[in-house]
Chains A and B, each alone.
Chain A
Amino acid sequence: MATYDQVFSTLGLESWCKSAAEASSGPVSMADLLAQNAGTDMPLPSIWELPFPSMDALHESCEAFPQSRVLTKSIENGFLGIKDELSFFLDPLTQPLSWFLEGALWLFETTPWWLMIPVLLGLVLLVSQSGKLVVFVAACLLGLAFIDYYSFAVQTLAVIFVCASLCVVIGVPIGIAMSRSDRLQRAVIPILDMLQTLPPFVYLIPLIFLFSVTEPKLYGIAIILYAIVPVVRLTDLGIRLVDKDVIEAANAFGMTERQKLIKVQIPLALPNIMAGVNQTIMMSLSMVVIASLVSAPGLGVLVLRGIRNLELGVGLVAGLGIVILAVILDRTTKLALARINTSQD
Chain B
Amino acid sequence: MLSGMDSGAKIAIRNLYKVFGVDPQRALKALKEEGLGKPELLERYNHVLGLQDINVDVKYGEITVIMGLSGSGKSTLIRHVNRLIDPTAGEIIFEGRDILGCSNEELRKIRREQMSMVFQNFALLPHKTVAENAALALEVRGFSRDEYIPEAEKWLDRVGLQGYAASHPHQLSGGMQQRVGIARALTSNADIMLMDEAFSALDPLIRTDMQDLLLELQQELQKTILFITHDLDEALKLADHLVILKDGRIIQQDEPQTILLEPSDPYIVDFVSDINRARVLRVRSVMDEIKPTGDINIAGEIDQEENLESIITLAQGDTRKTYLVMDGTRKVGILRMETLIKSLIPTEASDDGMRSH
Contact = CB atoms under 8 A, between A and B. Distances in A.
Nearest to B188: A253
B111 interface: yes
Given A245-B121, A343-B168, A252 B82 contact: yes
Given A255-B140, A343-B168, A344-B126, A249 B119 contact: yes
B117 A253 contact: yes
Contacts of B139: 263
A252 B117 contact: yes
A267 B119 CA distance: 21
Place the interface of chain B in its size category. 20 to 34
B140 A254 contact: yes
Contact of B126 (A255, A256, A259, A268): A268
A270 B125 CA distance: 13
A251 B140 contact: no
Q: Is the interface of A mostly helix, strand, loop or mixed?
A: helix
Interface of B: 82, 84, 107-113, 115-117, 119, 121-127, 136-137, 139-141, 168, 170, 184, 188, 194
Interface of A: 243, 245-246, 248-249, 251-256, 259, 263-264, 267-268, 270, 343-345
A246 B122 CA distance: 8
Nearest to A259: B140
A252 B111 contact: yes
Closest 4 CB pairs of A and B: A254-B112, A254-B111, A249-B123, A252-B117
A253 B121 contact: no
A263 B126 CA distance: 11
Determine which residue in A245, A248, A253 has the highest number of CB atoms from chain B within 10 A of its CB, and name it.
A253
A254 B109 contact: yes
A255 B139 CA distance: 10
Nearest to A247: B123
Contact of A253 (B107, B111, B122, B170): B111
Contacts of A243: 123
B136 A345 contact: no
Contacts of B168: 343
A48 B122 CA distance: 75
A243 B139 CA distance: 21
B84 A345 contact: no
A248 B83 CA distance: 11
